[in-house]
Amino acid sequence: MAERQTIDGLLAVARSRIERLEPEAAARAVSAGAFLVDIRCSDDRRSVGTIPGSVHVPLSVLFWRLDPSSGHDDPALSDLARPIVLICAHGYSSSLAAATLRGLGFASVADVIGGFESWAAAGLPVLRDGS
């Protein structure tokens, strides 16, 4: 029987395989052409805001929408060579998802350290309901 993994162990392995960006560096990557993919649920996006220009792909369908071999991909997002930056609420789910995308063959995938919370705290653009 395989030894049990912990979530902290899985997270450490995932983060060793990806690039992690501070919010300001993520904003620069997006300005340079990376897709910013927001994997938060719709309720979170409605309650705390969205990032202008980000693409919403919920975590529950992320891998199928981005993997060009899935048969359910979004051609605008499934270019294995285009840099992708993932953002979640706090920077945990996005790390695990980014490592999975690396395993699916994406050449350049990163996540935002601290997630949306740190993006907003850094004073980067956020659209709030009614903005």
DSSP 8-57: HHHHHHHHHTSEEE-HHHHHHHHHTT-EEEE-S-HHHHHHH-B-TT-EE-
Residue 93 within a domain: yes
Residue 20 within a domain: yes
Residue 1 within a domain: no
Rounded mean pLDDT, 120-126: 98
For residue 115, what is the domain's CATH number?
A: 3.40.250.10
Residue range(s) defining the domain that contains residue 36: 7-121
Residue 127 within a domain: no
Residue 69 within a domain: yes
Q: Which pLDDT score is estimated for 129?
A: 73
Rounded mean pLDDT, 90-109: 97
Read off the tokens for 98.
């980014």
What total of structural domains would you count in the chain? Answer: 1
Rounded mean pLDDT, 12-16: 96
Rounded mean pLDDT, 27-55: 96
Q: Which pLDDT score is estimated for 131?
A: 47
Residue 80 within a domain: yes
Q: Is the pLDDT at 83 greater than 80, yes or no?
A: yes
Q: Which pLDDT score is estimated for 2?
A: 83
**pLDDT > 70 in the chain, percent:** 98
> Mean pLDDT of all residues in the chain?
95
Least Cα distance to 17 among 115, 119, 114, 97 occurs for: 97
96 vs 130: which has the higher pLDDT: 96
Residue 131 within a domain: no
